[in-house]
Amino acid sequence: MSPNWTHLIRFIAVEDGLVHLGQVDTAKTTDIGLATVEKKEVKAKLVTGSIFDGVVTDKVLTVSQLLSPIEKSEVPLIRCLGLNYHDHAKEAGMPIPTHPVLFIKPRTALSGPFPQKISIPKFVQDETTDYEAELTLVISKDGRDIPEDKALDYVLGYTAGNDVSARTEQFRNSQWSFSKGLDLSAPIGPVLVAPSEIDPGNLGIKAILNGDVVQDSNTKQAIFSIAHTIAFLSQGTTLERGTVIMLGTPPGIGAMRTPKLWLKKQDDMRVWIEGIGTLVNEVYY
């Protein structure tokens, strides 16, 4: 059975203190992430079942705390694209890749929106940790060797993500999974938007650090389409239901700036994506 939600959140309810899935009315609350940070009252219709088959009910609950839209136990793996924006490749002085550049994060990297923090472990507290605003999707069902013209049928929904990266460790190694896979280094949220409600190929995307816009682009700058990406990643490889795919970042990352710009203790880090809202996290050392 297919889910009938369009804007899904996972949250702790004021009424019972329990974790629920809910459908939010974006006409009343246009940016769920900002509303919760600003302590505005946010209501949601209870969704019964899982994110994969959830049904919206008439019961209304009040949001006490937002969580990652998908539970960590439901995520088999986080797959990530590197160098997937034309303007980012230009910024990095690198040629446009002919194939998607893939690395992975373990599901232990998954995190959620405010008040969840970007928690930087002691061994990388050298002020070289970076932000990467990314459109992010969740896979709806298992698939292998998925044809490109069927690939979007495997998208459950879209959300905002931040590919937090420990650059000192990254530049020590040609493989990125360790430096980008630390615990809580993949916050996503605030809401999971159904594919019927959004055009992922033409969305404004920004990173905002302490009130300053540090990344500002559009997903139409992506080198590889979402359909191509899913088809490519599923070649001879099962993309399991619940897989999170982070689709690459635009220009403006701290490592490419002069002077460099790094995440510091108590920084206010935000990722805004048009039609999705704002993922807000405080940085904690």
How far is the C-alpha of 55 from the C-alpha of 187, rounded, in Å?
Answer: 25
Residue-wise pLDDT for 84-115, tens only, equals 998 887 887 888 889 999 999 999 999 999 99
pLDDT in tens, the chain (285 residues): 689 999 999 999 999 999 999 999 988 889 999 999 999 999 999 999 999 999 999 999 999 999 999 999 999 999 999 989 988 878 878 888 899 999 999 999 999 999 999 999 999 999 999 999 999 999 999 999 999 999 999 999 999 999 999 998 888 888 888 999 999 999 999 999 999 999 999 999 999 999 999 999 999 999 999 999 999 999 999 999 999 999 999 999 999 999 999 999 999 999 999 999 999 999 999
pTM exceeds 0.95: yes
Which fold, 72-283? Answer: Fumarylacetoacetate hydrolase; domain 2 (3.90.850)
How far is the C-alpha of 135 from the C-alpha of 203, rounded, in Å?
Answer: 9
> Which among 194, 119, 94 is positioned nearest to 153, based on CA atoms?
194
The first and second tokens of residue 209, run together, are: 């650090």
Q: What ranges do the domains of the chain cover?
A: 7-66, 72-283
Residue-wise pLDDT for 134-174, tens only, equals 999 999 999 999 999 999 999 999 999 999 999 988 888 88
Burial of 136 (C-beta count, 10 Å sphere; 0-12/13-18/19+): buried
Q: Across the chain, what does the average pLDDT equal?
A: 96
